[in-house]
Amino acid sequence: MKELISTKDVAELLSVNEKMIYALITDKGLPATKVTGKWLFPRHLVEQWIENNTQNYPESRSTLPPYHGLLIIAGSNDLLLDKTISLFNSLYPEHVAVFGNIGSMGGLKALRNNLCHMASSHLLQENENDYNFQFASIEFENMPAIHNFCRREQGLLVQKGNPKNLKEIADLAQPGIHVANRPLGTGTRLLFDRELKKAGIDIEKLDGYGNEISKHLDVGIEVLTGKADVAPCIRPVASLLGLDFIPLRWERYDLLIQKERFFDKGVQLFLSLLHEKKFHDAAKQFEGYDTSISGKMVFPHENQKNANS
């Protein structure tokens, strides 16, 4: 079992009063669990929470080496991205594309620290009208180029036939509901937590909330095999596994690229692939993808009313 620490330990770690810890649990999503009536905190999740809330990073002194055929993509996991990487590798055998599944926030941090050429991300902003720009403006001194990879439908996976008769987020408060979850730092977790808060659901009473699964497909398997009744996920997984799906919203799933690496050959080949028929045909193999703006550069639209819903 991962190390659990007390309220006092967390207060000392953050250099705050113990009473402040309870406010951070409620207001800022500090990871915590109640066992035998007292709060306990998984140390690794607290450390990850601190990292995810860090805003001012020192400048990285390292850079990616000159491009020699290895294209590194890191960030949010996606079925169509996996297929596109395989397509890239088959079409351009003199290049190799690889992917690091570290969540949207992890992808932005990897890009900022020059560990990858592109970051995949779908982080919903506070205004719920846009994606990624607000988070990128915190991570980067100079805004990276942002190109859309696709739009995806986010929601809740439920078992075929929806035996628990779940219709919306609020229904997860019913007794006997077991969930599977995505890790902190993923765009899906960010959306799920926001929707739970809107519905007034106490995550401490949500059975399985701490069961974090790293990939969308693996979350689907949890539901398919009956280990979970419901889980936040994308519709393409429901389409692939024959599960039912409760929609929440369409989201924009983007690729972020540092401008000094934008014209690397592998980056340009990958972006050009998003305009090809083979890419669009791959998306059509699933329900829940929209490739109408794939490959296009996107810009903030703060004043545009909910263009992504």
| Amino acid sitting at position 172 | L
Same domain flag for 112 and 74: yes
Domain total of the chain: 3
pLDDT digits (tens, 9 = 90+) for 169-220: 999 999 999 999 999 999 999 999 999 999 999 998 899 999 999 999 999 9
- % of the chain residues with pLDDT over 70: 92
Residue 302: pLDDT over 70: no
| Parent domain of 227 | 154-249
> What pLDDT sits at residue 119?
98
Same domain flag for 245 and 159: yes
For residue 81 the two structure tokens come to 């991205």
Same domain flag for 158 and 284: no
Same domain flag for 13 and 162: no
Same domain flag for 137 and 192: no
Same domain flag for 114 and 39: no
Q: Is 206 inside a domain boundary? A: yes
Residue 60: pLDDT over 60: no
Residue 33: pLDDT over 90: no
Give residues with Cβ within 8 angstroms of 65, minimum separation 6.
none
Stated pTM of the model: 0.79
Q: Is 300 inside a domain boundary? A: no
For residue 188 the two structure tokens come to 């899906």
pLDDT digits (tens, 9 = 90+) for 216-261: 999 999 999 999 999 999 999 999 999 999 999 999 999 999 999 9
Q: Note the Cα 168 to chain centre separation in Å.
A: 21
Same domain flag for 242 and 123: no
Residue 29: pLDDT over 80: no
Q: What is the mean pLDDT of residues 23-40?
A: 78
CB 231 within 8 Å of CB 114: no
> What pLDDT sits at residue 11?
86
> What pLDDT sits at residue 1?
53
Tell me if residue 49 falls in helix, strand or coil: helix
Q: What is the mean pLDDT of residues 20-28?
A: 78
For residue 141 the two structure tokens come to 């001194």
Name the pLDDT band for 2 (thresholds 50, 70, 90).
low
DSSP state letter for 231:
E
CATH number, position 258:
3.40.190.10
pLDDT digits (tens, 9 = 90+) for 75-108: 999 999 999 999 999 999 999 999 999 999 999 9
Q: What is the mean pLDDT of residues 40-45?
A: 81
